[in-house]
Amino acid sequence: MTKKIAIIVGSLRKDSYNKKVAEKFAALLPEGFEAKFIKIDDLPYYNEDLETADAPAAWTRLRQEIADVDGVYFFTPEYNRSVPAALKNALDVGSRPYGASVWGGKPALVVSVSTGAISGFGANHVLRQSLVFLDMPTLQQPEAYIGNVQNMIDEKGEIVEGTVKFFQLITDKYIEFFKRFK
C-alpha cells in the first residue's frame, strides 16, 4: 500500500524557494511513497467562535487531508525568527477542536530554506517546538537547514547535483525513521 506524505510549504510566494525545494524532495520519495501537497493559503485564521457545525470549508478540507496522510514534510522560511503566520495557522486549525488533532503520531520532517546564511535556524526550531506538543515524532538527524538557497539553483532553475545528493540523504533517513513509526 502506498504511503502518503503531506508536503506543507510555509511560504505562500508563487516562486518560493521553499516550494522549489519541496518539489525536489517530493520527487526524491522512493517507490511506495507518494507526495501530497497541502494548500494552506486559503485557511481563515483559527478562531474558536467559528468552530461550529458550519466551520469554514477550508478547515474541514485541511483536517481531512492531514487525517488521510501517513507522514508530513514541513518547509518553512524564517520570518522574524519564527515561522510564517500561514504555517502556524495550519497547525492550529489541524489541532482543533481540542482532543481531535489530526497531527498526532505522524512522523515529520522539518526543512528550513533561506537566502541567508543562518538558514532559517530560528523557524526550524520554533516549528519543532510546536510539533513536540502536537505529538509528531520529528527526524532529528540530519538537520535540514538550507541556507543561501539562491546559490544552489543553476541557470535552468534546477537544484544543483551536490545539493540534490544532500536532499536524497535527508529523504533516505526520513524513510528509515518513518518505518520505525509506521
d(CA 172, CA 63): 27
Q: Is residue 154 part of a domain?
A: yes
Q: Is residue 53 part of a domain?
A: no
What CATH number has the domain bearing residue 161? Answer: 3.40.50.360
Tell me, yes or no, whether 116 lies in a domain.
Answer: yes
- How far is residue 113 CA from its own chain's centroid? 11
What residue ranges of the chain have pLDDT lower than 50? Answer: none
How many domains does the structure of the chain reveal?
A: 1
Residue 144 domain flag: yes
Residue 60: the pLDDT is 97
Q: Determine, yes or no, domain membership for 87.
A: yes
Q: Is 52 a member of any domain? A: no
* Residue the block writes with cell 544532500: 166
Q: Is residue 8 part of a domain?
A: yes
Structure pTM? 0.96
Q: Which contiguous run of DSSP H or E holds residue 43? A: none
Question: Which pLDDT belongs to residue 120?
Answer: 87
Q: Which domain holds residue 93?
A: 3-47+58-181
- Residues of the chain with pLDDT > 90, as a percent, come to 92
